[in-house]
Amino acid sequence: MEYILIITSFVLVAIGAAWAIAYSLRKQRDAAIREMETIAQRLTNIEKKLEDEKTRRQEEEKKRRLEDENEGNQEDKNTGRQGDKKTKIQEDLSGMTDEELFQYITKVVREQELYRWSDFNRSAVMKHFSLSAARVGAVFAQGGGQSLPEFVRNCRLDHACRLIVERPSMSFVEVGESSGYQRTTTFYHDFKARFGMTPAEYRKEKLKNE
C-alpha cells in the first residue's frame, strides 16, 4: 500500500511538473505571438507613414508646378496679350543660334529650378519653350556640347550639394527627392560617379572644412 502511494505521489508530481512546463511554454508562445504582432503593426505603421509622406511630397510638387505655371501666365492673362507675347517669344527663339538658345534655356531651367521636376525631360523642354524635338537635340548637342540628360543631372547634383551643406538635418532621401530624383539609388549612383564619394562623406567633408 505504501509502495502504491509513493508511485501515485511521483505520478502526481510528474503530472504537475508537466503541466507547469506546458503552461510556461504556452505563456512564452503567447508572448512571442504578441511581440510579433506588435512588430508587424509597427512595420505597417512605418510603411503607411512613408507612403503618406511620399504622397504628400508628390502633391506638393504638383502644387508647386501649378503655381509656377500660374505665376508665369497671370500677367499675360490680365492684359489679354498672352497669345501675342508667346508668338513673339517663339520668333525670338527661332532667331537664336544653337549656342544662344542653349544659354537661354539653361539659364531659365536653373533660375526657375525646372530640373526639380521629377519628369523633366526633352518633352518638358519642348513644351515649356515651344521647340521641336530636333531643335532641342541640336541645341544641346551643338550649342552646349552636352546632352540634355547630362545637363539636368548636373543641375540636380548641384542643387543636392547645396541642400547637403545648408540643411545638415535633411535626410539624403529628402535631398534626392527635392533635387528631382525619383529613385534614391539613382541619386546615390550619380552623386558618387561625379564626386567620387557618397552624400554622407561629402557632407562630413564639407562640414569639417567649415
Report which of 124, 141, 82, 117 is spatially closest to residue 90, judged by C-alpha positions. Answer: 82
- The residue among 201 and 23 whose pLDDT is bigger is 201
Do 154 and 143 form a contact (C-beta atoms < 8 A)?
no
Residue 147 scores a pLDDT above 60: yes
Average the pLDDT over each of 3-12, 49-58, 167-176, 190-199 and give the range with the smallest value: 3-12
Give SS3 for 126: helix
pTM score of the predicted model: 0.57
Report which of 195, 157, 162 is spatially closest to residue 176, judged by C-alpha positions. Answer: 157
**Burial of 50 per CB tally in 10 Å (0-12, 13-18, 19+):** exposed
Residue 86 scores a pLDDT above 50: no
CA distance 43 to 36: 10
Do 10 and 17 form a contact (C-beta atoms < 8 A)?
no
Q: How confident is the model at residue 116 (pLDDT cuts 50, 70, 90)?
A: very high
Task: Give the pLDDT confidence of 148-178 residue by residue, as tens digits.
Answer: 999 999 999 999 999 999 998 999 999 999 9
Q: What is the mean pLDDT of the chain?
A: 79
Report which of 86, 159, 81 is spatially closest to residue 120, judged by C-alpha positions. Answer: 159
Report which of 149, 159, 153 is spatially closest to residue 112, judged by C-alpha positions. Answer: 159
Report which of 190, 192, 167 is spatially closest to residue 178, judged by C-alpha positions. Answer: 167
Which value, in Å, is the radius of gyration of the alpha carbons in the chain? Answer: 32
For residue 81, the one-letter residue type is R
CA distance 162 to 170: 11
Axis-axis angle for helices 148-166, 184-195 (nearest 10): 90
Residue 117 scores a pLDDT above 80: yes
Q: How confident is the model at residue 84 (pLDDT cuts 50, 70, 90)?
A: very low
- Could you give the C-alpha distances from 166 to 8, 104, 157, 183, 190, in angstroms and in order? 80, 28, 14, 22, 20
CA distance 146 to 205: 29
